[in-house]
Structure 1
Amino acid sequence: MAFTGRWETETQEGYDAFCKLLGIPDDIIEKGRDYKLITEVTQSGDDFSWTQIYPTDAKVTNKFTIGKECDMETIGGKKFKATVSMEGGKLSVTFPNYHHTSEISGGKLVEVNTLTHFRKSKRLC
């Protein structure tokens, strides 16, 4: 499956503006600016487990099935219901404060959050 793997942030744009949109304090933004976020994805057909590992080993795991409503959580611990869709190989979901898309392009995991934050990650394994 295309998304399955362990991914590490390679480049990103708009990090500060995105963090401010989420209400993250400036000191935390500063600490995380150069952190290489690790994303671990397992995919079995339409079923996904998507884990993001943040500084200090904080992690958030969301499990979902394409097209079915599921319980999700933000890094801030906010729980919400959402439905992840896939169109043209691109995953799409709306979080409480932003919209997130993910796709594999040129062998990279490319994520876009509300058209302000772009992150590209290389596959580690």
Structure 2
Amino acid sequence: MAFSGKYETESQEGYDAFCKIMGIPDDVIEKGRDYKLVTEVVQNGDEFTWTQHYPANHSVSNKFVVGKESDMETIGGKKFKATVSMDGGKLSVQFPNYHHTSEISGGKLIEISTTGSIVLKRISKKI
């Protein structure tokens, strides 16, 4: 499937501004700035398991089916319900404080998180 694989952060834009508006403490922002986030995606048709591996062995894993309401969790541990949609090969979901899209383009995972006028764009290469 298009999304299946393991990806590592290659570049990101808007990281500091996005983290600040999300209320992440400065010391955590500093530690995470150059961290190579690993995202592991298992896709089986419209079913996904999306896991992100953060520093200090912290991982967040969300399982969802496109078009069906699912239980999700933020990096901060906040639980919420959301429905992930897919349009033109791009996944889209509304988190509690931001909108997130993911797509595969040129073999890379492109993720964009938007809150107001602040945009975090992360590009990850397949590993």
Q: Map 1:24-63 to 2 at 5 A.
A: 24-63=24-63
1 CA distance for matches of 2:87 and 2:59? 27
- RMSD over equivalenced CA pairs, Å: 0.7
**2:123 matched to 1:120?**
yes
**2:26 matched to 1:23?**
no
Matched residue SS, 2:31: helix
Query: Residue 74 of structure 1: CA displacement?
Result: 0.2
Code of the residue aligned with 1:99 in structure 2: it is H
Matched residue SS, 1:116: strand
Q: Which runs of 5+ in 2 are unaligned?
A: none
2 CA distance for matches of 1:13 and 1:51? 21
Query: Residue 22 of structure 1: CA displacement?
Result: 1.4
> 1:15-68 CA distances to partner (integer Å, 9 max, x unpaired)?
011111211000100011000000000000000000000011100000000000
Aligned length: 124
Identity among equivalent pairs (%): 73
1 CA distance for matches of 2:98 and 2:71? 16
Aligned to 1:72: 72
TM-score (norm 1): 0.98
2 CA distance for matches of 1:122 and 1:61? 19
> 1:68-108 CA distances to partner (integer Å, 9 max, x unpaired)?
00000000000000000000000000000000000000110
2 CA distance for matches of 1:6 and 1:13? 21
TM-score (norm 2): 0.96
